[in-house]
Structure 1
Amino acid sequence: MIKVVFWSQTGNTEAMADAVVEGIQAAGGEGKAISVSDISAADLAGESVFALGCPAMGDEVLDEGEMEPFVEELLPSVSGKKIALFGSYDWGDGEWMRTWEGRMKEAGAVLVAEPVICNLTPDEEGLANCKALGEALAKA
């Protein structure tokens, strides 16, 4: 079971998480979207393949209430793990995702594909990109 852990304020990133799960299932895998409030970093630390999703918040940062503390706690255990990152944003150019990607790679995680970012509500192309991300996870 590939866990797709996300934080979503308006539902945009949750819709992306659901599309990632659809992609996992389309590729023959099992996936489950899980809100970050329903899982601990320790629960995810033992997984070898997973996805993380969070929108850009404030000054292009991860949600500081739940997702940032979760990622901080998870970082020491991601070396060698195959992961995918995704999220939505309102303004800016994706700096938060580039920063997040860099942190995960620096900690030794292996990204299975380029992160997927969508401006506000994901459109058909954005959802298709999320499904492709899920397929890449399932094949990892």
Structure 2
Amino acid sequence: MKKMAIIYWSGTGNTQAMAEAIAEGAKSGGDSVELFEVEQFDNGTLAQYDGLLFGCPAMGDEVLEEGTYEPFFAEVEGSLKDKPVALFGSYGWGGGAWMREWEDRVKNDGAKLFGDGLAIENAPDSDGVAACQKLGKDFAASL
């Protein structure tokens, strides 16, 4: 059984809804999935997970949330080499450009980026929830 962590930040609840749907999809294969708001995650436990899913909405000029998530992510980047990683988040403007930059950053960290990041405009509708569940299921199956 593989062990995954889903670590997210959500200001309006949209990215949280995505994280919960991803967890539901990942659990459907019987794998162990732990869901964390970023403030709850102990960075020292990163190595015990077989796969990591990071979620953060686009903020401001299409960047990661700067008060909590960006400092967290900057701290864990050095531990991502050869780790399977998937990215997700919501946005309200700009077409999701922050996701492409985040993908490049993760690739440069040496992580094994799973597919393209999942970016959903605003709250996930039924198609968005299904896409999140599929991401979780497919990511779990790839480990």
Q: What range is the shorter-chain TM-score in?
A: over 0.9
Q: Which runs of 5+ in 2 are unaligned?
A: none
Letter in 2 for 1:55: P
Which residue number corresponds to residue 79 of structure 2?
77
Deviates more, 1:123-132 or 1:62-71: 123-132
Rounded to whole Å, the distance in 2 between the matches of 1:32 and 1:85 is: 16
Q: Would you say 1:54 and 2:56 are equivalent positions?
A: yes
TM-score with structure 2 setting the length = 0.93
**Equivalent pairs: percent with the same residue?**
44
TM-score with structure 1 setting the length = 0.95
Query: How far off is 1:40 after superposition?
Result: 3.0
Counterparts of 1:1-140 in structure 2, within 5 Å, are: 1-139=3-141, 140=143
Deviates more, 1:121-130 or 1:40-49: 40-49
In the TM superposition, what whole-angstrom CA distance separates every residue of 1:86-134 from its partner, at most 9, and x where no partner exists?
0000000111111111000111111222211111111111111111111
Rounded to whole Å, the distance in 2 between the matches of 1:90 and 1:32 is: 27
Q: Is the contact between residue 103 and residue 116 of structure 2 (CA under 8 Å) also seen in structure 1? A: no
What SS does the aligned partner of 1:94 have?
helix
